[in-house]
Structure 1
Amino acid sequence: MERSIRSLPMQPEQDKRQVALERAEELKHRIEGYLDAVKNIPTGFALAEQNEARKSKILEYFGATESDWNNWRWQMRNRISDVKELRQILPLSDEEAGHIEFVSKKFRWAVSPYYLSLMQADNPSCPVRMQGIPSIWEIRDNWGKEDPMAEEFTSPAPRITRRYADRLIINVTNQCAMFCRHCQRRRNIGEVDRPAAVEDVKAAIDYIRANPEVRDVLITGGDPLTLSDEWLDWILTELDSIEHVEIKRIGSRVPVTMPQRITPELCEMLEKHHPIFINTHFNHPMEVTREALKATRMLAKAGIPLGNQAVLLKGINNDPNVMKKLNQELLKIHVRPYYIFHAKHVKGTAHFITTIQEGLEIMEHLRGYTSGLAVPWYIINAPGGAGKTPLLPQYLLSVEKDNVMIRTWEGKVFRCTNGGYIDDSNDAC
């Protein structure tokens, strides 16, 4: 029978200390497996020297300077989207190159020079490489859907997606610094970068203005931070002018794929539009780099709260230790883990899909095993755009009129009164 520490009889001070020491030793044993595993989990900070060497090679290939590298427009102009060019920088077998050529006939791809510098040249299973470089498995996926979220049926106005009562999305562009291989909107990528027409964005804002229950607007894409400061400033100013819009959010992966986009000028502009939040999209500790820290620190200094929406991806982060390390690394760069999304069944991404049990196992190894700040919500999107549904391990075992049975993060079971406090009596289970 498990007993809470508070239910133990009164003890002399030295006996209390002994109880605490024994408990501390028990807790140490619980973290030992992670401490061993984490030694073999690469991070962007630990790989800084190797990343710098790859960066030098890329700069040499383009005949570019450090100043060019730090210019986000140079990064955008020089995205690699041709396999012949890619082979000059990243070693590929003839088979790999052939697969990329074949996939590119159906699915567009492009990767920023910066993100390419994070890819391990000698590891085809590199978590960064798998997210940016096409795989033959994209073509072999016969069961995914182009639009599993039914966004085309939840768009009451141009560029709007609305699935909830008090908030909605404006999709302002199909541009990205990199076209992620697991992207939920790959159907919108097309063959050229195409920001939303001004008329469409105005129509979207008019819809928001006409619906006073909308208090929260998420600007997304594509990646809205690939737009100019001036265009973003105009959109945010229009939203600021709507009295019932309380907060604005921006969904962007550029802190991960092109952190050079976060400039002092951008931060100064964004700071005019508080309250504003940014949710970004780190999926692996290798993506948490010095450059990412520089970007997120600038945003944090501008008073912008940062959250992370990871996607659970097979072969990349479907491991409790990897996800824990990712979330801990994110807190070091001012980013609060917000969601772990169960991957959507988007056509061309079946090779990334995990089981829900894997997601729940990850949650079991987060709650209690690391800071509460490092524990996001595990979310599955209900089919057909029916909304986000949180999934949790089973901590509440039973509910009766006067009592509930709970399971702790360690698997210990207790009876609580239905008033909410732990029952310290001898019948605690």
Structure 2
Amino acid sequence: MANLSTVLRTGRQLADAGLITDDAAKVTDLIGKRYSVAIPNQLATLINPADPKDPIAQQFIPNADELFALDDEHEDPIGDDVRSPLRGLVHRYPDRVLLMPTLSCPVYCRYCFRREKVGRDAAAPSAGDIENAIDYIGNHSEIREVILTGGDPLSLSDNRLGALLRELDEIPHLSNLRIHTRVPVALPSRITSKLIDNLQVNLPIWTLLHVNHARELTNDVANACAQLNQGGIPLLSQSVLLRGVNDNAKTLSELFRRLVELKVKPYYLHHPDRAQGTSRFRLTIREGLNLVYSLRGRISGLCQPTYVVDIPGGFGKVPISSIRKTHDGKNWLLTDFEGRQHIYQED
């Protein structure tokens, strides 16, 4: 397995690397007591410390604003817990589940909607929890797809990941698997022939790459994507629309075009979730819609993902193109997959 030792985890390490000041190092360590911090060298070397608005730094370097939560922010903004029948499993939609075999990540994003849990050993599911989750999947024949997430599933060892995939491969009513990961971007050396060998099961496996800016797509990342493609693992991407990172047409166009060049189909563009301490990243839905509309005709349809928002409370995601304003024109009306309507409030 790739070496994880070259990861910056403390304020002192970030300061010694020239990425933050000594004063900021103290704030970083204070934040680290609540939210996990880790930046692998692969990403740290992309940061321009002379640019206070560097989009890579914005995503990964802790900011004092994280310690202040607004009234509309939540520990579980998309309602995972209310849809979790067992530890490590979320069953939100009838035909698919989220399985979280780990809560560890190679990098911890400052906007993460699971930031209250990731990197925290106490919250991580045990081996027994995962076995119970697999039994649950096997006993529910309506489930056709298992989405491995977390945490980052590719942070598991080859042996653990391979064993898990083989267990899922034996469940007859499953039709495909999905892996949500940042590893090819954060730790491309993790993508090895042994890893790809462990992905070779009978069920089709789709990998969703999490990436928000074209600068993250280095030559090493391109090689990792090529290895996965050559190994028969099709690639999709999901990105988050983030103020100060990618909230303009030029940046999004460059990102989506570069992904398609790497044979990665842009799949989702997420409206930022209302996780605690993340308000600095958020745009309004109207701002997001105007930006997405500006891409029409600017880039190929192949390059354009679906812009979605997760309905707070566990009711799933909806395409933002399908929502409309409430009668008073102040809020948004969202309809979930079961036809229930929800008010999404914005100031």
Instruction: State the TM-score, normalized to the length of structure 2.
Output: 0.89
The yes-or-no answer on 1:318 pairing with 2:242 is no
Contact 1:320 1:361 in 2 (8 A): no
Alignment correspondent of 1:248: 177
Distance 2:191 2:124 in 1: 19
Alignment correspondent of 1:229: 158
Which is worse superposed, 87-96 or 284-293?
Answer: 87-96
The yes-or-no answer on 1:257 pairing with 2:257 is no
Contact 2:68 2:276 in 1 (8 A): no
Which is richer in helix?
Answer: 1
Distance 2:35 2:44 in 1: 19
The one-letter code matched in structure 1 to 2:25 is A
Contact 1:251 1:279 in 2 (8 A): yes
Contact 2:310 2:317 in 1 (8 A): yes
Alignment correspondent of 2:331: none
Identity %: 35
Structure 1: gaps spanning 5 or more residues:
1-70, 395-429
Of residues 199, 212, 220, the one that matches 2:149 is 220
Contact 1:363 1:393 in 2 (8 A): no
Deviations 1:125-167 (A, max 9, x none): 2111111110011112333100011211101123110111101
Deviations 1:167-223 (A, max 9, x none): 110011111001110111111125449863111111001001100010011011100
- Shift of the 224–234 alpha-carbon distance from structure 1 to 2, 3 Å rule, reads same
- In the TM superposition, 1:45-84 aligns within 5 A as 72=2, 74=3, 76-84=4-12
Alignment correspondent of 1:116: 44
The yes-or-no answer on 1:180 pairing with 2:116 is no
Distance 1:246 1:292 in 2: 29
- Shift of the 382–125 alpha-carbon distance from structure 1 to 2, 3 Å rule, reads same
- Shift of the 193–89 alpha-carbon distance from structure 1 to 2, 3 Å rule, reads farther
Of residues 22, 25, 33, the one that matches 1:97 is 25
Distance 2:37 2:119 in 1: 10
Of residues 345, 348, 358, the one that matches 2:287 is 358
* RMSD (Å) for aligned C-alpha atoms: 1.7
Contact 1:363 1:392 in 2 (8 A): no
The one-letter code matched in structure 2 to 1:370 is I
Deviations 1:85-142 (A, max 9, x none): 2212124234423332332233221111211111112112211111111001111233
Of residues 76, 83, 91, the one that matches 1:147 is 76
The DSSP-based 3-state class of the residue aligned with 1:86 is helix
The DSSP-based 3-state class of the residue aligned with 1:188 is coil
Runs of 4+ in 1 over 6 A off after TM superposition: none
Alignment correspondent of 2:344: none
The DSSP-based 3-state class of the residue aligned with 1:365 is helix
Of residues 274, 285, 290, the one that matches 2:214 is 285
Which is worse superposed, 188-197 or 317-326?
Answer: 188-197
Deviations 1:329-350 (A, max 9, x none): 1111111100000000000111
The one-letter code matched in structure 1 to 2:219 is R
Number of equivalent positions: 322
Structure 2: gaps spanning 5 or more residues:
324-347
Distance 1:392 1:90 in 2: 43
The yes-or-no answer on 1:391 pairing with 2:317 is no
Alignment correspondent of 1:348: 277
The DSSP-based 3-state class of the residue aligned with 1:272 is coil
Which is worse superposed, 283-292 or 133-142?
Answer: 133-142
